[in-house]
Amino acid sequence: MAAPDAGSAAASLVRVRLVAVQTFAEALRLRLTVLLVFIGAALVLLAWTLRGFNLGVAELRFIADFGLAAISLSGTVLATFGLAHLYFRDIEGGLAALVLTRRVGRGEYLAGKLVGVAALLAWFTAALAVLLAAMLAWRGTQLGANEVLPAVFLQACALTWLKLILSAAMTLLVCSYAGSALFAGSAGLLLTVAAHLRVFAPTEGWLAWVRFWPDFGLFETGPLLAGREAGLVGLAGMGAYWLFFMILFTGLAAYVFRRREF
C-alpha cells in the first residue's frame, strides 16, 4: 500500500490519527483514568440510594439525571487534568520534541492530542453509561415502568460527551501557553465551571462580555430526560454551537502553540 504524499491532507490525517491513537493508549494507562473510573462508577451507583425516597416511576428519571451528573463531574476532571497531564508528560519527557522535529505540524499534533482525549472521554462516558443503563433497566423491571427511553438516554449521554470534549478543548488552549500541568488542569477546570455558571451572566454592565463564553447550560440533560426534546432543528443548532467553540478553542490553541518553545 502506497503512503500518501507527506504534504497532502490524507497524510496530515494519518499523522493526526497516529498521535490520537498513541494518546488514547497512554491515557487508558493513566492512574488518574483508573481512579476516576472507580470514583465515577461509585457516584453512579450512589443513585441507587434514591429508591429510598418512594418517588414512584419518576425515580428512574432521577437515577438517570443523578448518574449523568456523576459522569459529567468525574469526566470533567478527566478532561481537564487528564489532558493537561498527557500534554505536559509529552513536553517534559521529550516526546513532543521528538514528534515535532518530524514532518508533523504543530496543529496536527494538538489535533491528535484532542482527538485522543475525545476517544478516552467517549470510552469513559460509554463505560459508565452502560453501568447506569443496567441500573435503570434493573430498577425499571422492579417498578414495571420504562420512564427513560433508550433513544433519550443515548442523546443525553452524547450531550454529556460533547460537553466534556469542549472542556478538554478549553484546557488545551490553556496548555498551549501554560508552564505546568497543575496550572493548566486547574485553569481548565475553572473555565468549565465558568461555562456552567454562564447562564447567570448579566446582559448589561461590565460583566456582559461573559455572555461570549460557551454556555454549558445548553448541554444540560435534565430537560431532555423530562421529555422536553430539542427536536432536529434544536439539535442541529446545538451541534453548530458546539462546533463553533471547538474550532475557536482549538484554533486559538494551535495559533499560540506555533510560537511555543521547548
Partner 1 sequence: MLIGDHWAVELDGLTKSYPTGWRRRPVPAVRNLTLKLAPGQVLGLLGPNGSGKSTTLKALAGLIHPTAGQCRILGRPAGGREARGNVGYVPEVLTLALHQTGRGFLAYCAGLSSLPPERAATRIKAVLAWMGLGDAAERAVATYSKGMRQRLGLAQAVLHEPAVLLLDEPMSGLDPEGRIAVARLIRDLARQGRTVVLTSHLLTQAEEVCDRLALLGEGRLLACGTTADLLGSFAPEPAQPSRLEKIYLEKLHGRA
The smaller minimum CB distance to partner 1, of residues 54 and 101, is found at 101
Stretch in the footprint of partner 1 (CB under 8 A) among 37-45, 72-80, 96-104, 140-148: 96-104
The interaxial angle of helices 83-92 and 181-197, nearest 10 deg, is 150
Q: What number of H helices and E strands is found in the chain?
A: 10, 0
Residues 6+ apart with CB under 8 A from 58: 147
What sign for the dihedral angle of Cα 254, 237, 161, 119?
negative
Q: How far is the CB of 39 from partner 1 (least distance, A)?
A: 23
> Is 228 one of the binding residues for partner 1 (CB under 8 A)?
no
Q: How many CB atoms lie within 10 A of CB 202?
A: 11
Site residues for partner 1, 167-196, by CB under 8 A, read none
Residue among 11, 122, 201, 210 that touches partner 1 (CB under 8 A): 11
30 scored as a contact of partner 1 (CB under 8 A): no
* Nine cell digits for residue 20: 490520537
Name the residue with cell 443548532.
237
Structural Rg of the chain based on CA atoms: 20
Q: Nearer to partner 1 by C-beta: 105 or 251? A: 105
Exactly one of 97, 149, 190, 199 binds partner 1 (CB under 8 A); that residue is: 97
**Nearest residue (CB) to partner 1, 89 versus 198:** 89
Residues near partner 1, by CB under 8 A:
1-4, 6-7, 11, 14-15, 18-19, 22, 25-26, 29, 89, 92-95, 97-105, 259, 261-262
